[in-house]
């Protein structure tokens, strides 16, 4: 897209759309998207919320009647978890305000891969095979099982029904998805599966431009999309960590990990209690980002002993995925994340369309007193979060780390690696990571290769440590980073070593 005259937004949307075909278990038009966009002329960050809302008829009682204590993410009643897909509207909204190209132009590569085929990589093969049984449970799932099974590494795959759906969207824009035949097929299928989604729910969907949220971390301003996303968790953890002298500690040591882990646990306790759709309930963002509040939470951290019980704080009055980042020659940047949540989302594939529907509604609570309780036309808690960082009023980083609840943890670790320890983009991504289990059970997963000294040190502090290796290392997320030198305009990129991905310059 850049070579053809497009800008960073055009490039990011085109890549996200192509990944719907190349990595269909992770993302697609049946899911949601968020973006942070840096306007190099206005020197400002814009936040786009392209996530969908629950159906108007969504309610906790219907779910409880089926015997569930939580909204099911998969299985016979997975349709309860299907919220309105927001990706297509989000793509078009971003292009209309900041892009140079049309939706038709940026969808061309995705359509090409779907109809003409592409070779499947080893990592994608593994993910596809893991979801084979789930897709095969319904006849329409075979549309994403070419030849009746998950593809093998190196096989050439075509997804014709998905390709034709993308062609219809290219020709008719977002209205072709949210109105007419495609919308009718989506609604009819979800209702046949016992869900609530209607054509009215789809027709009434719209993306929203929000004011991004940020915090200052040792002279770097880190930006996130506001709730209903969980990006605020990364900012809260950074606020807590800022009070520790991490640069004086040894990188990847037990002491560094302990500070980061405890800060992340405290931040998650708060966001899981308070984050919901701010257009439906009050979300105390300013109080959550208060440096004074962070100082109080920091005092709960004992340098030598892990917290046994982590609870949310009393505030003073006052969200498998793909991540893409692009920066163009004019210094504009787009940090974009697109997801179905779980692998192939709900596992529901709309017949004759190739659309795998997300299961974001599984993140709703059934507790009527919780801010994130399921109700009609409400956005659920979202795990997907793009990130940016500025320094001296200029773009420094466009970055993200995909992977469910790992995402704010990845943001925290990448920013700390680059700010506290001076690592460049690639080395910051290569560095070993930790993963705090959410909901918090006190277990901390460490990546294979961590030193015995660090693992032992964490155990001595009371952390329940488990070492993760092999394909399971994707648990630690998949990050991409582009850094920009404001004086020279030089771009330096890094790409995730644990998954497929690439840093490409032109």
Helix (H) or strand (E) holding 271: helix 254-274
- Rg of the Cα atoms in the chain: 22
Burial class (CB in 10 A: 0-12, 13-18, 19+), 452: exposed
Among the listed residues 347, 279, 273, 461, the one whose alpha carbon sits nearest the alpha carbon of residue 73 = 347
Active site residue 488: no
Catalytic annotation, pick one of 84, 165, 198, 321: 321
Among the listed residues 213, 269, 285, the one whose alpha carbon sits nearest the alpha carbon of residue 45 = 213
Q: Identify any residues that bridge with 163 across adjacent strands, giving them in sequence order.
A: none
Residue 357: is the preceding peptide bond cis (ω within 30°)?
Answer: no
Taking CA 356 as the corner, what is the angle to CA 114 and CA 371, rounded to the nearest 5 degrees?
140
| Token digits of residue 414 | 């990448």
Residue 79 is classified by DSSP as: G
Q: Where are the beta strands (DSSP E) in 195-339?
A: 208-210, 213-217, 220-224, 321-327, 333-339
Residue 381 is classified by DSSP as: P
10 Cβ partners below 8 Å, 6+ apart? 1, 2, 95, 99, 100, 101, 105, 106
Residues classed as catalytic: 321
């Amino acid at each position: 897209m850049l070579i053809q005259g497009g800008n960073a937004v055009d490039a990011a949307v085109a890549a996200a759309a192509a990944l719907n075909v190349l990595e269909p278990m992770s993302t697609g038009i049946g899911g949601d998207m968020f973006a942070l966009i840096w306007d190099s002329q206005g020197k400002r960050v814009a936040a786009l919320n392209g996530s969908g809302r629950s159906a108007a008829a969504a309610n906790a009682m219907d779910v409880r009647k089926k015997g569930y204590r939580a909204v099911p993410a998969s299985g016979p009643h997975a349709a309860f978890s299907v919220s309105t897909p927001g990706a297509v509207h989000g793509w078009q909204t971003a292009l209309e305000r900041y892009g140079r190209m049309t939706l038709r132009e940026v969808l061309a590569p995705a359509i090409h891969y779907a109809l003409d085929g592409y070779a499947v990589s080893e990592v994608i093969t593994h993910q596809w095979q893991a979801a084979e049984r789930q897709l095969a449970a319904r006849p329409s799932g075979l549309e994403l099982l070419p030849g009746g099974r998950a593809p093998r590494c190196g096989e050439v795959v075509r997804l014709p029904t998905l390709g034709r759906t993308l062609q219809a969207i290219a020709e008719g824009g977002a209205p072709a998805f949210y109105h007419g035949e495609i919308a009718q097929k989506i609604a009819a299928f979800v209702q046949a599966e016992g869900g609530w989604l209607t054509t009215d729910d789809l027709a009434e969907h719209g993306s929203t431009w929000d004011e991004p949220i940020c915090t200052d971390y040792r002279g770097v301003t880190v930006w996130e999309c506001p709730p209903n996303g969980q990006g605020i968790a990364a900012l809260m953890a950074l606020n807590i960590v800022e009070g520790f002298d991490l640069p004086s500690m040894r990188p990847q040591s037990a002491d560094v990990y302990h500070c980061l882990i405890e800060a992340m646990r405290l931040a998650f306790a708060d966001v899981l209690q308070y984050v919901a759709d701010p257009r439906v309930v009050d979300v105390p963002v300013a109080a959550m980002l208060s440096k004074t509040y962070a100082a109080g939470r920091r005092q709960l951290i004992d340098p030598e002993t892990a917290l046994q019980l982590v609870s949310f704080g009393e505030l003073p009055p006052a969200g498998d995925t793909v991540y893409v980042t692009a920066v163009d020659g004019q210094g504009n940047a787009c940090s974009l994340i697109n997801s179905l949540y779980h692998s192939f989302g709900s596992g529901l594939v709309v017949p004759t369309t190739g659309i795998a529907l997300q299961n974001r509604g599984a993140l709703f609570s059934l507790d009527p007193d919780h801010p994130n309780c399921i109700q009609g036309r409400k956005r659920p808690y979202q795990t997907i979060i793009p990130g940016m960082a500025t320094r001296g009023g200029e773009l420094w980083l466009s970055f993200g780390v995909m992977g469910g609840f790992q995402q704010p943890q990845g943001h925290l670790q990448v920013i700390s690696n680059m700010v506290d320890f001076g690592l460049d983009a690639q080395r910051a991504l290569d560095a070993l990571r930790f993963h705090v289990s959410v909901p918090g059970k006190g277990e901390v997963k460490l990546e294979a290769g961590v030193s015995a000294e660090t693992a032992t040190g964490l155990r001595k502090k009371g952390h329940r440590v488990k070492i993760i290796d092999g394909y399971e290392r994707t648990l630690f997320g998949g990050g991409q980073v582009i850094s920009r030198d404001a004086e020279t305009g030089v771009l330096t990129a890094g790409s995730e070593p644990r998954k497929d991905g690439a840093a490409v310059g032109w």
